[in-house]
Structure formats: C-alpha cells, structure tokens
Amino acid sequence: MLKSFMADSAKIRKQVLLTLFFFIIAFLVFFFAEVLLPFSEAVKFDVINQSLRIFQARQQQKALFLTYAKLIQKIRFKEDELAVASLASQAKEEPNIYAVVNLLNNTLLLKRQDLTINEFPISVGRGDTLVAPWGKRWVFETPTGVLRILRKIKDPIWYKPDWAFLEAKESIPPPHSPKRLVRGILGDYALDLGGGIMLHGTPYEHLLGQRVSHGCIRLSKEGIKTLYDSLALGDKVYIFGK
C-alpha cells in the first residue's frame, strides 16, 4: 500500500511539473507576443524615424553651407571686380611699366597703361599655416595690394629661414650659419617687394600655375628675366584676388 501511495505521489508531482512547465511556456509566448514584440516594433519605428530626422537635418545643413559658400564666392568675385576696376583706373595714370598679379588664376601680366606686353604663369602662396613647437606661426600667403620694386638682385642667394628647417624636419642652425645660405633656389634673378616677398625664378617650373609657394611669386626662367630687364626700382606691382 505504501508503494502504491508513493507511486501515485510521483505521478502527481510529474503532472504538476509538466503543467507548470507548459504554463511557463504559455506565459513566455504571451509575454513575447503582447509585450516584447510591440515594444521592439515601436523601438524599430522610433530608430527609423530618428534616422530620417538626422538625415533631413544634415541635408538642410548641407544646403545652408552651399548657400553660404555661394554667397562668399559672390562677395569675393565682387571684391575682385572692384579691385580690377580700381586697378584699371590707376593704370591709366601709370606712366611706367607695371606688373599685375592675379592670385585667382596664377598669372602675371606685364603692362603699360592698358596694353599687355607679356603674360606669365606663376606660383603664389599656398595659404596654409605652420606652427613651431614654441608657438610661432607662419602663414604662407601672398599679400594683396600695391607693392613696389625695392631691390633688383642678380644670382640671388636664399637665406633659409627657421620655418624651412622645421618643414624639412632639420635642426635649426644659428642665424649666421652657412647652412642658411642656399644658391639656385631663387633662380637667376629676384625682385624684392619687401616684407620677405619677392618675384623670383624657380627650379620647379613644372609647378607654375599652382599655389605652392610660401608667399613669394615664382616665375619661369624667361619670365623673371623679362621682369628684371623691364621693371625699374620703384615700379609698381599690383596684387589682387586673395
């Protein structure tokens, strides 16, 4: 009788456990179907909606940036038109030969009043900045305005400045070191405009027409020779198009 009772108890426990197991399965199915699935769908929809809003915001920012860029371009073109108009007005009164440097298309015109005598491709300042470890900054731009020929130099020697050693990752020598004196890099002739800016030749004639200099105006061998022979001390160089 005891054995029969124990067997019945085992069957009852087994049935209870099976019932409990199926109840848990049913509860999990219900929970997934009624709670998790709608929640995941809502999350998915929210993520998609948020992505669309971000995309639309970026498109609006892009459109705003393009509008701003076009506006700046128009302003610059207008400034250059005014500069050219002012230049033309001054040129009519200019008795001597003068040079016109256009930074927009990297060209130099040698002119007498309204007559263009020669045109040469040039390289001008590349426009970037170098910062030394001790904080000094060099901005490699060609200045705009009306400059004058201050010196005419044949077989110029380049005094290599600190920034050139930094760019080459070389140690900077003392100010009077012979390492600073470099021949040939400025070509056969140079015209000094002051402030460290020169019209000069270059061994890199294949780069003419590009913004690659550190501020000086580079010309071909023929171009700098023509300017050296044509321009006198005090003659003007008009630079525009920054």
Catalytic residue among 176, 206, 214, 216: 216
Closest to 187 measured CA to CA, from 148, 141, 219, 215: 219
* Residues whose CB is less than 8 angstroms from the CB of residue 90 and which lie 6 or more positions away in sequence, other chains included: 146, 238
H/E run at residue 155: none
Q: Do residues 215 and 76 lie in contact, with contact meaning Cβ atoms separated by under 8 Å?
A: no
Q: Does residue 200 carry a catalytic annotation?
A: yes
Return the ∠ at Cα 189 (arms to 185 and 190), rounded to 5°. 85
Q: Does residue 176 carry a catalytic annotation?
A: no
Q: Classify strands 236-240 and 98-102 as parallel, antiparallel or unpaired.
A: parallel
Which of 54-63 are b and which e, b meaning 16 or more Cβ less than 10 Å from the residue's Cβ?
A: eeeeeeeeee
DSSP three-state, residue 29: helix
Distance CA 94, CA 235 (A): 10
H/E run at residue 47: helix 37-91
What is the token pair recorded at 192?
């000094």
Active site residues: 200, 216
